[in-house]
Amino acid sequence: MTEYDALLLLSFGGPEKPDDVRPFLENVTRGRGVPPERLDEVVEHYLHFGGVSPINRLNRDIIATVEAEFADAGIELPIYFGNRNWHPMVEDTVARMRDDGVRSALVFPTSAWGGYSGCRQYHEDIERARNAVGDGAPALVKLRQYYDHPLLIAAFAGAIGAAREQLPAHQRAGARLVFTAHSIPVSADASAGPPADGGRLYSRQVAEAARLCAGSVGVDEYDLVWQSRSGPPQIPWLEPDICDHLDALAAAGSEAVIVCPVGFVSDHLEVIWDLDTEARDRAAELGLGYVRVGTPGTDPRFAQLVSALVREMSEGGNPQRLGSEPLYGAGTNGALCAVACCEPPRRPGR
């Protein structure tokens, strides 16, 4: 059994006060060709919530539930928290880990998926942080993708059932189940995963997770749509967009929707703005009943999932999983998990 001294929860990061919003967005979009008009729009989304993204608080809540779960499970690993784009920055956290004497740590990413943004970029964060710390930086071993883990699917399935109960009784049976995940450029999806697997690893994993969740709640007919597209309008991203899809459902005579944010582990800004604000308003205009499914982050099964991944990595054994799409994502010190996996798109100016 390999010995590890700590777990690092590695996430995206978000602003915690109005003055943080611009510098945070500059970190996120550095060199990525996101047009200024889109950025101005996103600034407004954050300011709508007082300039505070819920994401850091949610990650601290996740850490608290995982600490309790580790205590129950007899896993003696302190948990550290670091982000890609905002404080606590992963570089600072890894420096603190070194100062605390951590030699070797597991890294739990808050994205369940393959693809550049959801997986490879986390390897890059690990490598950048270790380089910044230099001598004595701990070895960092990233945990694998977990999009089809039975505990994740069970948490979503439970939340779908609970959401259905929130609809008025007469809408429950007929409500359309709609899964949604973060859109990415079609070109980024095409290069997601090792080329030998044929690409599209992100959208294939999302589609499989949706199928598994629907199956767990006994629903045969459902939809998968995308949200929160960014980038210049002439570049194609995964479609249909959630709001366009609500129009189509209303036109086809649907009376209500159950919207499941299968692509997100917690209620961060894309969920509370794009779903709880924009999509909900659209549904109201269309006269569609609307309920949004809760995310799994604070479900005890999510903490158990972290324990299970830690055990799997330290004790070996086959991954517990329900799906069959290719599964990657584990790597040491930022090394890629497979040859040419999730090559980043070429962007202007790079």
Ligand X SMILES: CC1=C(CCC(=O)O)c2cc3nc(cc4[nH]c(cc5[nH]c(cc1n2)c(C)c5CCC(=O)O)c(CCC(=O)O)c4C)C(CCC(=O)O)=C3C
Residue 142 within binding range of ligand X, rule CB under 6 A: no
Residue 38 within binding range of ligand X, rule CB under 6 A: yes
- Of the candidate residues 152, 269, 310, 341, the single one contacting ligand X (CB under 6 A): 269
Which residue number, 12 or 222, has a Cβ lying nearer to ligand X? 12
312 is known to lie in a ligand binding site: no
Tokens of 155: 């948490």
For residue 273, what is the DSSP state? Answer: I
Residues 275-334 that bind ligand X (CB under 6 A): none
For residue 197, what is the DSSP state? Answer: G
Which residue number, 78 or 326, has a Cβ lying nearer to ligand X? 326
Q: C-beta of 53: minimal distance to ligand X in Å?
A: 3
Residue 158, SS3 per DSSP: helix
Residue 13, SS3 per DSSP: coil
> How many chain residues bind ligand X (CB under 6 A)?
25
Residue 331, SS3 per DSSP: strand
Q: C-beta of 303: minimal distance to ligand X in Å?
A: 18
From 22-30, 74-82, 291-299, 306-314, span contacting ligand X (CB under 6 A): 22-30
Which residue number, 113 or 302, has a Cβ lying nearer to ligand X? 113
Within 10 angstroms of residue 168's Cβ, the number of other Cβ atoms is: 11
Contact code string over 161-200 relative to ligand X, x by CB under 6 A: ---------------------x-x----------------
Q: Where are the alpha helices (DSSP H) in 186-276?
A: 186-190, 201-216, 242-251, 269
DSSP codes of every residue in 265-317: SS--HIIIIIIIIIIHHHHHHHT-EEEEPPPSTTSHHHHHHHHHHHHHHHH--
228 is known to lie in a ligand binding site: no
Across 16-50, b (16+ Cβ under 10 Å) vs e yields: beeebbeebbeebbeeeebeeebbeebbebbeebe
Which residue number, 59 or 307, has a Cβ lying nearer to ligand X? 59
Residue 98 within binding range of ligand X, rule CB under 6 A: no
Q: C-beta of 48: minimal distance to ligand X in Å?
A: 12
For residue 147, what is the DSSP state? Answer: T
116 is known to lie in a ligand binding site: no
290 is known to lie in a ligand binding site: no
Q: Is 188 left (phi over 0), alpha (psi -120 to 50) or beta?
A: alpha
Residue 53 within binding range of ligand X, rule CB under 6 A: yes
Taking alpha carbons only, the member of 293, 233, 228, 289 closest to residue 257 is 289
Contact 334, 126 (CB under 8 A): yes
Taking alpha carbons only, the member of 347, 252, 350 closest to residue 35 is 347
Q: C-beta of 132: minimal distance to ligand X in Å?
A: 20
- Of the candidate residues 59, 93, 110, 145, the single one contacting ligand X (CB under 6 A): 110
Known binding residues: 53, 122, 182, 270
- Enumerate the known binding-site residues for Fe(2+): 182, 270
Residues making contact with ligand X (CB under 6 A) = 12, 14, 25, 28-29, 32, 34, 38, 42, 53-55, 110-111, 113, 117-118, 182, 184, 230-231, 263, 268-270
